[in-house]
């Protein structure tokens, strides 16, 4: 044995592979959920108390004001606890994972090296995977500077790198990977769940990260410095639950929470998370047909509209300021001529939906626009005493169906991102459908609901004149 080989062997034998504790990665999620709940509730009550005090000549501080001010202080203290805990967790986890990948890659090279350079190739792949993780101090600064918002994202990337590393070493020793990858669509979906749960879900993702690393240590490095002999069992893939039915169920469940809270006078806005779920699902369905993706998108947009409607209907007292906005919009619509009305409707619909062609995150504005449209409809219906079933007949209006089809067509284009010819055709079709929907809606407005094919043709001709 050469001196270089003996030195390498000595280095390998000196390496110790340690497991990682889950507790530091569980605590931040618990702090986040409690702190955000306390801050949201206390701010709502304090704003109401301040609004009531402006209409009262008394300047005395009430017990309720003192109580909710103290609750706000508790919430702020717990938020800073979350920020500190998440910063420490990120710094510790990134340092431990990067160190493990380096030591593990070196060990794998030692056992897999040979004249065919296979060991070197595995080592280089592991080092490339390690470089995808930020340095511990970088992760610490990012977490601090974003006020802890980056914590769920960093944890997701840490698990992705850990799973990739485990797969590389399983291939090196057993020619087959048992650890399932962490795909981008699953990462986006789980970040959405973290938003919906006010950060509580990150307690689970933090626990799963440690479980993934510790399982890898048990199966690959338990006999160190001897190589592993028994291949690990296949693990479930994160985000395997991501399907049309499960996304619809999540939207319904958290919209029910939003509706109950709105009825009680508390704000809860799930639109951003719903948009991420929408984009994540369609991006995951890249192997499905375009028509299938359009159908899935259409269904979920209807669910979003109905969810927004129920929230607006039950919480109309909370959201009644939207009614004034809709009244102002109605005045603007009556001011425009036919051509201007078509252009206005088409531009508005295209603006909220065209960004959905971007995979993974592009559906945020589309989901927000659709949910808010249902919210406004619910508020108006409640204030005017319109029965919900009658109000939701809008879903079968002549312009609503092509409008939702146009939205879902643009959304489905994200599943073909990178296949530029098909992608461009789908985008153009989606915009054409939205233009047709705008013409039909204009005909409904101009002819006061009495729509015929001749009316639509007349509007189209006036548009191109």
pLDDT for 170-181, tens place per residue?
888 888 888 999
pLDDT at residue 462 is higher than 70 = no
DSSP string computed for 78-92 = HHHHHHHHHHHHHHH
Mean pLDDT within 34-48: 88
The distance from CA 179 to its chain's CA centroid, rounded to whole angstroms, is 24
**Burial class, 106, CB count within 10 angstroms (exposed 0-12 / middle 13-18 / buried 19+):** middle
Computed on alpha carbons and rounded to an integer, the radius of gyration of the chain in Å comes to 28
Between 334 and 359, residue with greater pLDDT: 359
Q: Distances in Å between the alpha carbon of 195 and those of 28, 153, 297? A: 14, 11, 21
Q: How many CB atoms lie within 10 A of CB 225?
A: 13
- At residue 283's C-alpha, the angle toward residues 278 and 288, to 5°, is 110
Q: For every residue of 311-345, which 3-state class applies, written as one string?
A: HHHHCHHHHCHHHHHHHHHHHHHHHCCHHHHHHHH
pLDDT of residue 327: 60
Closest CA to 360 of 455, 242, 270, 265: 242
Q: Is 291 helix (H, G, I), strand (E, B) or coil?
A: helix
End-to-end CA distance of the chain: 88
Q: Which residue has the tokens 């009495």?
A: 450
Here the tokens at position 186 are 């699953």
Distance of alpha carbon 160 from alpha carbon 157, whole angstroms: 5
Q: Report CA torsion sign: 154, 155, 160, 163.
A: positive
Highest mean pLDDT among 25-34, 159-168, 378-387, 446-455: 25-34
For range 149-165, the mean pLDDT: 94
Query: 337 pLDDT exceeds 80?
Result: no
* pLDDT beyond 50 at 223: yes
Instruction: Name the more confident of 397 and 354.
Output: 354
Max Cα–Cα distance, the chain, nearest Å: 93
Cα 104 from chain centroid (whole Å)? 33
**Confidence label for 333 from pLDDT (cuts 50, 70 and 90):** low
Percent of the chain scoring above 70 in pLDDT: 86
Residue owning tokens 């350079």: 117
pLDDT (tens digit, 9 = 90+) per residue, 245-273?
999 999 999 999 999 999 988 889 999 99
Q: What is the pLDDT of residue 168?
A: 85
pLDDT of residue 115: 44
Query: Could you report the per-residue pLDDT of 60-111, keeping only the tens digit for each?
Result: 678 888 888 999 999 999 999 999 999 999 999 999 999 888 888 878 777 7
The token pair that represents 101 in the structure block: 């990948």
User: How do the domains of the chain map onto residue ranges?
Assistant: 15-220, 244-464
Burial degree of 151 (CB within 10 A; 0-12, 13-18, 19+):
buried
* 328 — pLDDT class (breaks 50, 70, 90): low
User: Tokens 């002999």 identify what position?
Assistant: 229
Neighbours of 131 (CB within 10 A): 11
For residue 191, pLDDT beyond 80: yes
Mean pLDDT of 441-447: 78
pTM (predicted TM-score) = 0.89
C-alpha to C-alpha distances, 399 to 114, 349, 437, 444, nearest whole angstrom: 68, 12, 5, 8
pLDDT of residue 441: 85
Q: Give the pLDDT band of residue 463 (cuts 50, 70, 90).
A: low
Task: Find where tokens 């985008």 sit.
Answer: 427
| Digit-coded pLDDT (tens) for 115-128 | 445 555 666 666 66
């Amino acid at each position: 044995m050469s001196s270089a080989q003996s030195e390498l062997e000595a280095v390998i034998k000196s390496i110790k592979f340690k497991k990682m504790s889950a507790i530091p990665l569980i605590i931040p999620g618990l702090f986040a959920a409690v702190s955000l709940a306390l801050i949201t509730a206390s701010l709502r009550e304090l704003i109401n108390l301040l609004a009531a005090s402006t209409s009262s000549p008394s300047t005395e501080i009430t017990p309720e004001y003192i109580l909710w001010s103290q609750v706000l202080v508790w919430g702020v203290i717990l938020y800073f606890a979350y920020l500190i805990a998440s910063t420490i967790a990120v710094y510790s986890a990134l340092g431990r994972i990067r160190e493990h990948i380096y030591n593990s890659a070196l060990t794998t090279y030692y056992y897999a090296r040979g004249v065919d350079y296979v060991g070197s190739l595995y080592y280089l792949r592991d080092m490339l995977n390690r470089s995808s993780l930020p340095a511990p101090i970088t992760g610490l600064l990012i977490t601090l500077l974003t006020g802890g918002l980056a914590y769920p994202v960093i944890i997701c990337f840490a698990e992705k790198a850990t799973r990739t590393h485990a797969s590389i070493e399983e291939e090196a020793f057993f020619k087959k990977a048992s650890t399932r990858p962490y795909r981008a669509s699953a990462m986006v979906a789980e970040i959405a769940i973290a938003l919906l749960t006010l950060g509580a879900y990150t307690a689970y993702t933090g626990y799963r990260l440690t479980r993934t690393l510790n399982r890898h240590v048990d199966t690959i490095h338990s006999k160190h410095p001897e190589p592993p002999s028994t291949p690990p069992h296949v693990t479930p893939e994160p985000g395997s639950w991501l399907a049309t039915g499960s996304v619809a169920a999540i939207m319904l469940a958290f919209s029910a929470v939003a509706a109950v809270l709105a009825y009680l006078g508390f704000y809860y806005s799930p639109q951003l998370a719903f948009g991420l779920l929408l984009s994540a699902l369609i991006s995951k369905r890249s192997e499905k047909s375009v028509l299938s993706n359009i159908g899935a998108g259409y269904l979920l947009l209807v669910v979003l509209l109905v969810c927004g409607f129920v929230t607006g209907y039950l919480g109309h007292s909370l959201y009644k300021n939207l009614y004034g906005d809709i009244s102002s919009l109605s005045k603007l619509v009556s001011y425009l001529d036919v051509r201007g009305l078509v252009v206005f409707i088409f531009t508005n619909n295209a603006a909220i939906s065209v960004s959905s062609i971007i995979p993974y995150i592009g559906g945020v504005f589309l989901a927000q626009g659709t949910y808010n449209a249902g919210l406004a409809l619910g508020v108006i219906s409640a204030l005017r005493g319109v029965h919900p079933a009658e109000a939701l007949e809008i879903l079968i209006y002549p312009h609503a169906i092509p409008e939702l089809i146009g939205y879902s067509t643009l959304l489905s284009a994200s599943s073909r991102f990178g296949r530029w010819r098909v992608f461009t055709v789908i985008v153009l079709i989606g915009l054409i459908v939205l233009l047709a929907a705008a013409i039909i809606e204009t005909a409904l407005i101009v002819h006061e609901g009495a729509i015929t094919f001749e009316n639509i043709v007349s509007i189209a001709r006036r548009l191109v004149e």
